Amino acid sequence: MRSRDPDARLAERALREAWPVPEDRRAELVAKLIDVALAEATPPRERVSAVKALLMAGRLNIEAIRTAQAADYEDVLARLDALQGTLTRGELAAGACEAERA
């Protein structure tokens, strides 16, 4: 993005290149890009770059959520494997029936 605003250029570059941005500054970066994207004086090329950077930020957030969910899922599978190693199938089935009744 060839913005006349150096802060907007840095914000776009930080998102594009996945710089380690402190969490308390991320909202500020996104707000700056939104300002560039919505400003009437922003040239079309800069506007498109800002919107692309915002979309990239959204994709990164979704990717982070999926990674966190996968980690939780793997943890649940590890717990299940541990339970299966200590309990017999009958004990697991009995526990499931009791949980359904509760």
Summarised one tens digit per residue, pLDDT across range 20-72 is: 878 788 888 888 889 989 999 988 888 888 888 888 888 877 887 888 887 77
pLDDT in tens, 72-99: 777 777 777 777 776 555 665 666 666 6
Residue 36 three-state SS: helix
* Residue from 57, 41, 51, 54 nearest 4 by CA: 41
CA 87 to chain CA centroid, Å, is 37
pLDDT of residue 39: 92
First to last CA, the chain: 58
Residue that is written with structure tokens 């914000």 in the block: 11
